[in-house]
Structure 1
Amino acid sequence: MEKQTTRESYDLHTHTQASDGMNKPAENVRLAKEKGLTGLAITDHDTVAGIAEAQLAGKELGVDVVPGIEISTRAGGRDIHVLGYFLDLEDERLLERLARLRSVREERNGLIIAKLQQLGLAITLEEVKAGLTRPLRPDESLGRPHIADVLVRKGYVSDMREAFDRYLAEGKPGYASLPRIAPEEAIAWIREAGGSPVLAHPGLYGDDELVRSILEHGKPDGIEVYHSDHGPEEELRYAAMAEQYGLIVTGGSDYHGVRQGVVFHGELGGRTAPPGTLERLKQAASAARIEEN
């Protein structure tokens, strides 16, 4: 990817060790600098734990770090993710809500491990945690990529993609899900914390009627049109949907780092938001704060 220095370039979807990414937050910022990005968002699953470190690195390197999150929800029998930007990171109500979500994620991890054991795979939650090579903080969380990492290291699968395709993806024998909040509730939480909510990677849900229902009932500010797992057809389709519903068009790589030589989902900076997106998200977040006050 060529360095982009003549106009703003933001990757608005990246993960760190605070959830299921491989890199420390500061490393994501360093990569953004290396790739010539104006900035990036840290959007870890159900936690804001990695943002402070990233923002400190951003100040040192001259990279704009957008405070973000990706909240796990469920609708229509599918896992749905809602991104949030410019939230108040010290909002006590939000932090309490996120802690509850992480406890559900921890319980789900236990169910996944149990299913894998029933399939004859010798894997334990202790092994998954040991793979971090560091203590897991209370405001951090484990995810399926951590479990997939152990499956690869133990030789049950050849790489991360096979781990998901055979065992961990939705509908596969090792998949597990627990009751979660609805997307509409996550959208409300983000606004109540002074942020701007965006529906993440709609193309991954395989159900555009469900996507439309979420947009109509939840009324997020934006939709992630540009994503590493969206092809040209999806980009055109969701850009048209954004225009129809008057939504902000966003974009990001969903970068999780490199595991066993495989980048998951895409390279940092491989997808970016259109120029002007950041200002529109800021304005929407400002409107949410005014409404809350």
Structure 2
Amino acid sequence: MPSSLSGTGHNGFEKADLHIHTKCSDGLFSPEEIVEKAAAAGLKAISITDHDSVAGIDKAKPSAIEKGIELITGAEMSSAYKGYDIHVLGYFFDYEQSALKQYLDHCRLQRTERAERMVGKLAKMGVKIGIEQIILKAQNGSVGRPHIAAVLQDGGYVKSFSEAFSRYLGAHSPAYVKSIETHPAEVIKLINEASGLSFLAHPAQSVSDEILKQLITFGLDGIEIIHPSHDSYKQNYYREIANEYFLLFSGGSDFHGLKDREDEIFGKLTIPMDWVTKMKSRLVKA
């Protein structure tokens, strides 16, 4: 099974976005709508990287082929290490490989159980919402905290997403329940065994330098350099670390379509296509 479709040119002026979420996890737009947006923004390649889900890939394929956009297989996979939530971006893997499929099914169940526990904690605080509403909000996709936040907003318990996270759902808030606790080395191994590449997502947002260096020893292929949480200083900083360890670069908008002004940056927070070419050359050598 090919892991990318509809190849296009690879000079440095062409752009890609390899971090995009859809309704199949916690994004606002369908995979088909994301392809439309990518075409309108002039992107040559995209990766739909839903949380612990590959459900959007087959949905996006026909329109990506039609629009001449290269669709790179992707997912943002959850893990935990020394108290940190670690997100690993997988690319170019065989998403029909059985071990990977089984693992993602397991994550889907875990995410729903996590949401149920959060609903239980909220109920003890007098905030009454139902798990059915959350699953409905997720449209049978991968359940996450943004879906709970949306239900809290619908119920009038909070006025905004940010209030839902600061009052109830954030990592230090009373209804918080830890995410998937798989060791990152296990996630990296799963991606590798499915013939893919693994990248640490948004390091500035999630890990200390010491933890980053430990994660590199687990076999990461690269680091996400371009991300909304990385200013130019951080981009250069992580680029230097990647170079030091002979790692690949990746990046993208981490687009969900949920926050104000996100639409304005879609198509602007991109990576050059030659980064994608270098990723592919690493695949050939594997």
Query: Is the pair's TM-score, using the shorter chain for normalization, greater than 0.5?
Result: yes
Q: What is residue 5 of structure 2 aligned with on the other side?
A: none
Identity of aligned residues (%): 38
Conserved in 2, the CA contact under 8 Å of 1:222 and 1:247?
yes
Say whether 1:122 aligns with 2:150.
no
Gaps of 5+ in 2: 1-10
Question: 180-189 or 271-280, which moves further after superposition?
Answer: 271-280
Partner residue of 1:17? 23
Bigger mean CA deviation after superposition, 71-80 or 102-111: 102-111
Contact 2:107 2:180 in 1 (8 A): no
Change (3 A) 1:150 1:83: same
Deviations 1:198-223 (A, max 9, x none): 111101114221112111x2121110
After TM superposition, list the pairs within 5 Å mapping 1:118-197 onto structure 2.
Answer: 118-132=124-138, 134=139, 136=140, 140-177=141-178, 180-197=181-198
Task: Report deviation, 1:129.
Answer: 2.3
Q: Tell me what 2:3 maps to.
A: none
Q: Distance in 1 between matches of 2:61 and 2:179?
A: 33
The one-letter amino acid of 2:231's match is G
Equivalent residue pairs, number: 276
Q: Report matched runs for 1:1-293 at 5 Å.
A: 7-132=13-138, 134=139, 136=140, 140-177=141-178, 180-215=181-216, 217-258=217-258, 262=260, 267-288=265-286
Q: CA deviation at 1:178?
A: 5.2
Secondary structure of 2:151's counterpart equals helix
Worse-superposed segment, 104-113 or 176-185: 176-185
The one-character-per-residue Cα deviations of 1:134-174 (angstroms, maximum 9, x if unpaired) are 5x1xxx31111111111222222222122222222212222
How much has 1:64 moved relative to structure 2? 1.4
Q: TM-score of the superposition, structure 2-length normalised?
A: 0.90
- Tell me: CA distance 1:221–1:178, structure 2 relative to 1, closer, same or farther (3 Å): closer
Q: Go from structure 1 to structure 2 and tell me whether the alpha carbon gap of 1:96 and 1:247 turns closer, same or farther (over 3 Å shift).
A: same
Distance 1:266-1:173 versus aligned 2 partners, 3 A rule: farther
1:16–1:22 Cα contact (<8 Å) kept: yes
**Any conservation in 2 of the 1:256–1:265 contact (CA below 8 Å)?**
no
User: Residues 12 and 40 of structure 1 are in contact (CA less than 8 Å); yes or no, is this contact kept in structure 2?
Assistant: yes
Counterpart amino acid of 1:191?
A: N
Cα deviation code 1:245-267 (max 9, x no counterpart): 11111111111123xx6366984
Partner of 2:7: none
For the structure 1 residues 178 and 250, does the alpha-carbon distance in structure 2 shift closer, same or farther, using more than 3 Å as the test? closer
Greater shift in the superposed pair: 122-131 or 220-229:
122-131
Structure 2 Cα separation of the partners of residues 286 and 264 of structure 1 = 35
The residue number in structure 2 matching 1:291 is none
SS in 2 for 1:10: strand
Matches of 2:201 and 2:171, distance apart in 1: 17
CA 1:88–1:78: 2 relative to 1, 3 Å: same
Q: Which runs of 5 or more residues in structure 1 are unaligned?
A: 289-293
Q: State the one-letter code of the partner of 2:220.
A: P
CA spacing shift, 1:179–1:14, aligned 2, 3 Å: closer
CA distance in 1, matches of 2:164, 2:199: 28
Q: Kindly state the Cα deviation for residue 89 of structure 1 after the two structures are TM-superposed.
A: 2.0
Contact 2:31–2:56, Cα closer than 8 Å, also in 1: yes
Partners in 2 of 1:287 and 1:143 — Cα distance?
Answer: 36
Q: Deviations over 1:69-112 (max 9, x none)?
A: 11110011021100011111221121011111222111111111
2:159 partner SS: coil
Amino acid of the residue matched to residue 200 of structure 1?
A
Q: Deviations over 1:25-62 (max 9, x none)?
A: 01011101111111210111111111011121111112
